[in-house]
């Protein structure tokens, strides 16, 4: 109990916290910025102290409510819940809500089980000798074997901006570095799978080979933003994860959709249903019930999202400011399987595209990942209002924003509307049923040209709006600038070492 009380007292101490201001562009009429702010913390610039106006005791209550189930050993070990408490104490995170605490309890439970059964799960990459590995492989050729992990994984789902990715990263960062583990975005994971399948083309069961390779590298898979929209992915997931789970893989996933809602309405979904059953069998399923979108609680930043017409000159001027003294020229970027993406203008880590070049052409996640491996900033001109006539472009734009967000890239763009306005005409089937009926002023032709009823896109739009909001915030841009500065320092040190050698 003394340990519990001591850890609770830590939350009441004040920590020094300094805000770094970001030099944005001057405020003007033609930009959009987020103004949905929440006054949770009062920042005193004179004292540089982060003060909580209404400090809640959610963590304290949570710990005391569960004190009977928490042993002295568990309180002293590391894990996502301990790290979460530390970050809140240091004012690095807002005081936790009960929904996130429930999710953290699940993550902490999984963490404890993994630590306790690490040997049985074969997580230590150095524990098993090559000879033992060859022996297992030899026996598996004669006697088919399954080796399910003694620990079930976790499937964490909830609304946009509820902190799923933050919780995933917090969990992953606490895992021992010698474990066979990988944290990757689901888009990127599936691109890797398809690339491996292409490499093993002609093998009797390439999925078994690919699953073997993946499990050899990483038995603990942390997949962020698990969502299935592609029929090719849907058709291979059951067999792929069947092999992975039989090899002892453990899945930790985040998603906006509950397992039963995955690939809803997709082509040949009946062939996908066995995967849902397998997923629920091998993973505990937990929902984050919070209705708070933390991405929209960031401070507004000015000058990177311009709304209006005839803003081409403004975009080019801002792009040149970001490029600096470098000359922007046409470039090529390599993506997977030998493909190349043509960049109209690029320099100093910044690329400039008309919207049509990135989202009205047959491009996908692989092309976007390839682009942001070389560039950290995208200037995108002319993002339109989305509707039925450009639904495919809307899907690509959603994927583009997902990849940018995953790579912490910076977006400078001109658009026909705010993020909310871009997707006003995209609705789910449920939303469509609730819409007002036609009148004499709203003809069927007008409805058909304006409204796009699409469940997957309708659910995805909230995530995109949320991410566009955060990507335009001061905090996000400060983090981007800090990351760039760190990379430059590392690059300079590497160059110095090369010269000295």
The CATH number assigned to the domain holding 133 equals 3.40.50.300
Q: Which of 357, 381, 372 is nearest to 402 (CA)?
A: 372
Examine the domain organization and report whether 66 and 129 are in the same domain: no
Examine the domain organization and report whether 324 and 402 are in the same domain: yes
Span of 47-56, 236-245, 270-279 with lowest mean pLDDT: 47-56
Is residue 494 situated within a structural domain? no
Torsion 306-312-313-316 (CA) sign: positive
Is residue 497 situated within a structural domain? no
Map tokens 């937990």 to a residue: 286
Is 180 buried (19+), middle (13-18) or exposed (0-12) by CB count in 10 A?
Answer: buried
pLDDT in tens, 172-227: 999 999 999 999 999 889 989 999 998 998 888 999 999 999 999 999 999 999 98
The distance of Cα 129 from the centroid of its chain, to the nearest Å, equals: 35
Neighbours of 459 (CB within 10 A): 18
Residue 277's pLDDT is 95
pTM of the complete model: 0.64
pLDDT in tens, 442-458: 444 445 567 999 888 98
The helix-helix angle for 98-116 and 58-65 (nearest 10°) equals 50
pLDDT of residue 48 exceeding 80: no
Residue 59's pLDDT is 46
Alpha helices, DSSP H, located in 174-217: 186-199, 206-217
Rounded CA-CA distance 282/237 in Å is 14
pLDDT in tens, 236-272: 999 999 999 999 999 999 998 899 999 988 888 999 9
Confirm if 50 and 43 have CB atoms less than 8 A apart. yes
Examine the domain organization and report whether 270 and 302 are in the same domain: no
Residue 232's pLDDT is 87
Examine the domain organization and report whether 157 and 273 are in the same domain: yes
Domain count, the chain: 3
Residue 213 domain boundaries:
119-296
Tokens standing for residue 362: 């047959």
Examine the domain organization and report whether 92 and 171 are in the same domain: no
pLDDT in tens, 395-443: 999 999 999 998 999 999 999 999 999 999 999 887 787 776 555 444 4
Confirm if 156 and 253 have CB atoms less than 8 A apart. yes
Tokens standing for residue 169: 């990263």
Backbone angles phi, psi at 360, to 5 degrees: -105, 5
Span of 69-73, 120-124, 468-472 with lowest mean pLDDT: 69-73
The mean predicted confidence, pLDDT, of the chain is 78
Q: How many residues does the chain have?
A: 501
Examine the domain organization and report whether 456 and 351 are in the same domain: yes
Examine the domain organization and report whether 289 and 144 are in the same domain: yes
Residue 51's pLDDT is 38
Examine the domain organization and report whether 455 and 308 are in the same domain: yes
pLDDT in tens, 372-389: 999 999 999 999 999 999
């Amino acid at each position: 109990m003394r340990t519990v009380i001591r850890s609770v007292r830590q939350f009441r101490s004040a920590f020094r916290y300094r805000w770094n201001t970001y030099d944005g562009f001057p405020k003007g009429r033609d930009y959009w910025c987020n103004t949905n702010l929440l006054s949770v913390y009062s920042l005193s610039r004179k004292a540089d102290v982060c003060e909580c106006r209404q400090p809640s005791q959610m963590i304290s209550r949570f710990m005391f409510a569960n004190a009977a189930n928490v042993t002295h050993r568990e309180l002293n070990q590391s894990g996502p819940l301990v790290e979460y408490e530390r970050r809140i104490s240091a004012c690095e995170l807002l005081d936790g809500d009960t929904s996130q605490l429930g999710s953290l309890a699940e993550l902490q439970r999984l963490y404890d089980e993994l630590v306790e059964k690490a040997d049985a799960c074969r997580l230590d990459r150095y524990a098993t000798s090559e000879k033992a590995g060859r022996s297992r492989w030899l026996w598996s050729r004669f006697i088919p074997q399954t080796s399910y992990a003694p620990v079930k994984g976790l499937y964490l789902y909830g609304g946009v901006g509820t902190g799923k990715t933050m919780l995933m990263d917090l969990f992953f960062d606490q895992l021992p570095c010698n474990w066979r583990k990988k944290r990757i975005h689901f888009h990127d994971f599936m691109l890797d799978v398809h690339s491996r399948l292409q490499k093993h083309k002609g093998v009797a069961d390439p999925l078994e080979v690919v699953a073997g390779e993946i499990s050899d590298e990483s038995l603990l898979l942390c997949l962020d933003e698990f969502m299935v929209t592609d029929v090719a992915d849907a058709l291979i997931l059951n067999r792929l994860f069947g092999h992975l789970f039989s090899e002892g893989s453990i899945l930790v996933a985040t998603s906006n959709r509950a397992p039963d809602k995955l690939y809803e309405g997709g082509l040949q979904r009946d062939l996908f249903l066995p995967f849902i059953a397998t997923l629920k069998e091998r993973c505990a399923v937990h929902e984050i019930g919070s209705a708070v979108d933390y991405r929209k609680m960031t401070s507004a930043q000015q000058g990177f999202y311009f709304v209006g017409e005839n803003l081409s000159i403004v975009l080019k001027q801002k792009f040149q400011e970001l490029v600096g003294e470098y000359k922007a020229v046409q470039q090529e970027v390599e993506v997977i399987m030998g493909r190349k993406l043509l960049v109209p203008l690029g320099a100093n880590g910044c690329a400039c595209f008309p919207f049509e070049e990135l989202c009205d052409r047959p491009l996908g996640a692989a092309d976007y990942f390839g682009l942001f491996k070389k560039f950290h900033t995208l200037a995108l001109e002319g993002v339109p209002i989305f509707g039925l006539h450009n639904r495919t472009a809307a899907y690509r734009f959603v994927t583009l924003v997902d990849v940018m967000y995953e790579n912490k890239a910076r977006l400078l763009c001109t658009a026909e509307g705010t993020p909310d306005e871009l997707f006003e005409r995209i609705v789910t089937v449920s939303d469509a049923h609730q819409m007002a009926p036609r009148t004499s002023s709203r003809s069927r032709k007008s409805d058909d040209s304006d409204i796009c009823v699409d469940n997957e896109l309708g659910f995805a739009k909230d995530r995109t709006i949320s991410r566009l909001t955060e990507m335009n915030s001061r905090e996000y841009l400060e983090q981007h600038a800090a990351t760039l500065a760190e990379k430059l320092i590392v690059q300079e040190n590497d160059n110095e070492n090369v010269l000295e050698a």
